[in-house]
Amino acid sequence: MAAPGTQLKSKRPTCPSCSKPASLCICIRIQNPGLQNKVNITILQHSLERKHALNSARIARVGLQNVTLSTVSDVKFDAKFMIHLFDPGHDSGSGQDGEKSSDFYQVMDDKADEFDASHVTKGSKEPVITCSVGKYGIVTNISIGNVWMPHVQWKRRLSFDKILASKVAVDDLAKGFVVKKLQRRRVDGSEELEEVEEFEVAVPPGSVLLFPSKNALDVDGLKAMDFEAKNLIVLDGTWSKARRMYCENPWLRFLPHLKLDLDRLSLYSEVRQQPKAGYLSTIESIVYALEEIGDYPEGLDNLLGVFESMVGDQRRFRNERLSKLSSA
Reported as a single tens digit per residue, the pLDDT across 291-327 is 999 998 999 999 999 998 888 777 666 666 666 666 7
SS (H, E, C) 147-182: CCCCCCCCCCCCCHHHHHCCHHHHHHHHCCEEEEEE
Beta bridge partners of 184: 195
Pair 217, 223: CB distance under 8 Å:
no
Which residue, among 47, 176, 49, has the nearest Cα to 108 in the 3D structure? 176
Per-residue pLDDT, 7: 45
Question: Which pTM does this prediction carry?
Answer: 0.81
The tally of CA atoms less than 13 A away on the side-chain side of residue 71 is 10
The top-scoring range by mean pLDDT among 26-35, 85-94, 114-123, 317-326 is 26-35
The DSSP output letter for 200 is E
Beta bridge partners of 217: 258
Residue 97 has pLDDT above 50, yes or no: no
Per-residue pLDDT, 239: 87
Which pLDDT tens digit goes with each residue over 227-261? 999 999 999 998 899 999 999 999 999 999 999 98
User: What DSSP element (H or E) covers 83?
Assistant: strand 79-85
Per-residue pLDDT, 190: 77
Contacts with 3 (C-beta within 8 Å, 6 or more apart), sequence order: none
Which pLDDT tens digit goes with each residue over 185-235? 887 777 788 899 999 999 999 999 999 999 999 999 999 999 999 999 999
- Percent of the chain at pLDDT above 70? 75
The tally of CA atoms less than 13 A away on the side-chain side of residue 4 is 0
Q: What is the mean pLDDT of the chain?
A: 81
The top-scoring range by mean pLDDT among 109-113, 158-162, 279-283 is 158-162
Q: Name the phi and psi angles at 301, rounded to 5.
A: -60, -25
- Percent of the chain at pLDDT above 90? 52
264/181 Cα distance (integer angstroms): 35
Residue 57 has pLDDT above 90, yes or no: yes
